[in-house]
């Protein structure tokens, strides 16, 4: 692997974490009790509690598209993309026209490394005349993970026209630059993202990571501390240092 994509593998999981929740329908949105379908970056206890609650909801009503999308997102956050795929496949059989389920399924496919299959699913729901920006965002994340970063950024630009000011689009754009080792550009986009609509703890933790990878540990720690309990802050800082050691970046940092 060449130097220009040194950070690609560690950042792959963050791309899908930055993808926004899906607006299912007016009816589903009005129920509103589940909130944003993003369970990444939560403290371990909260993540486990969310998954337990959603598992119970799913078992009670496995055909409810809103519940299934959230259940699948929680499963992916827990590192269970295969189970997320299975739940979505079953729900899609009962909701064949649901764009939200199709896009969630594409996310799960990408998380499991089935990139070509994910792109195939997305092509069935991305209308040339009226593309869904959530679908475009997942397509961009998938292309990024395939190393097709230029194509991914063009897709993010298209999504940004359709949904200006959405944090998830700017977040994924920032992580795309990080995957090609352009950390300055990554930071620029992530700083924009944290000020935008939909910014959440994962958005801010992504910024903390990119700042830390540039050797600004005090600033990175402060950003993490605003989001996480002390023990998780220390764990994240240890990860940043380990990643820098793994990628042999210490000399670059000391000279900067």
pLDDT value, residue 80: 87
Classify the phi-psi angles of 121: left when phi > 0, otherwise alpha if psi is within -120 to 50, otherwise beta: alpha
Three-state DSSP class for residue 78: coil
CATH number at residue 227: 1.25.40.10
Q: What is the mean pLDDT of the chain?
A: 83
Among 34-43, 56-65, 97-106, 138-147, name the one with the lowest average pLDDT: 34-43
Domains in the chain, number? 1
| pLDDT over threshold 50, residue 63 | yes
DSSP code per residue over 103-118: HHHHHHHHHTT-HHHH
Phi and psi angles of residue 249, each rounded to the nearest 5 degrees, phi first? -105, 0
Residue-number span of the structural domain to which 154 is assigned: 3-255
Confidence label for 245 from pLDDT (cuts 50, 70 and 90):
confident
Q: What is the pLDDT of residues 79-103, one digit of tens each?
A: 888 898 999 999 999 998 899 899 9
Report the share of the chain in percent with pLDDT over 70: 80
Phi and psi angles of residue 78, each rounded to the nearest 5 degrees, phi first? -90, 5
CA distances from 232 to 17, 50, 239, 245 (A): 18, 18, 10, 20
CA distance 92 to 16: 20
Q: What is the pLDDT of residues 179-193, one digit of tens each?
A: 998 999 999 999 999
| pLDDT over threshold 80, residue 249 | no
Mean pLDDT, residues 110-134 taken together: 91
Residue 32: partners with Cβ closer than 8 Å, 6 or more residues away: none
Three-state DSSP class for residue 197: strand
Q: What is the pLDDT of residues 123-159, one digit of tens each?
A: 999 988 888 999 999 999 999 999 999 999 999 999 9
| pLDDT over threshold 50, residue 23 | no
CA-CA-CA-CA torsion for 83, 18, 27, 164, nearest 10 degrees?
-150
pLDDT value, residue 255: 43
Higher pLDDT, 105 or 6: 105
């Amino acid at each position: 692997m060449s130097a220009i994509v040194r950070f690609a593998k560690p950042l792959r999981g963050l791309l899908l974490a930055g993808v926004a929740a899906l607006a299912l329908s007016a009816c589903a949105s009005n129920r509103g009790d589940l909130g944003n379908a993003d369970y990444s970056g939560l403290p371990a206890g909260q993540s486990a509690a969310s998954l337990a609650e959603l598992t119970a909801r799913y078992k009670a009503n496995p055909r409810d598209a809103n519940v299934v999308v959230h259940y699948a997102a929680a499963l992916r956050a827990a590192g269970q993309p295969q189970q997320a795929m299975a739940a979505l496949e079953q729900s899609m059989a009962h909701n064949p026209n649901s764009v939200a389920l199709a896009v969630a399924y594409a996310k799960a496919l990408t998380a499991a490394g089935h990139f070509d299959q994910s792109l195939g699913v997305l092509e069935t729901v991305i209308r040339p005349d009226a593309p869904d920006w959530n679908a475009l965002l997942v397509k961009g994340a998938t292309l990024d993970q395939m190393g097709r970063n230029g194509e991914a950024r063009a897709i993010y630009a298209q999504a940004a026209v359709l949904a200006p000011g959405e944090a998830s689009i700017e977040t994924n754009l920032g992580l795309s630059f990080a995957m090609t080792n352009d950390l300055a550009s990554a930071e620029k986009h992530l700083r924009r993202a944290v000020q935008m609509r939909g910014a959440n703890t994962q958005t801010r933790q992504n910024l903390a990571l990119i700042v830390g990878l540039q050797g600004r540990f005090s600033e990175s720690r402060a950003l993490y501390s605003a989001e996480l309990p002390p023990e998780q802050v220390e764990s994240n800082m240890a990860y940043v240092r380990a990643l820098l050691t793994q990628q042999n970046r210490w000399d670059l940092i000391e000279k900067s």
